[in-house]
Amino acid sequence: MYYVYLLKNEAGKRYIGYTTDLRKRLADHNKGGTPSTKGSTWEVAYYEAYASEQDAKRRERRLKNSGQARRWL
């Protein structure tokens, strides 16, 4: 299973990504394992599950390009 997720931090910034292990990926973000999310505490604001990696990548790309995620949060 692949997850497309939206994270939000205490300052209201957002991050969109995809992963196969959502809990582990959130922990990585909060430990500073990802440079673009370093130094903040993040929480999952929204996620979707997909059976194929290709579908998850396509959805992530659409969310990042359309700005649709900004309207949800």
CATH code: domain of residue 34: 3.40.1440.10
Residue 73 lies in a domain: no
Its domain, for residue 47, covers 2-68
Burial 32-58 (b: 16+ CB within 10 A, else e): eeeeebeebebeeeeeeebeeeeebee
pLDDT averages per 10-residue partition of the chain, 73 residues: 95 93 96 86 96 97 78 56
Measured CA to CA, the distance from residue 40 to residue 34 in angstroms comes to 11
pTM attached to this predicted model:
0.87
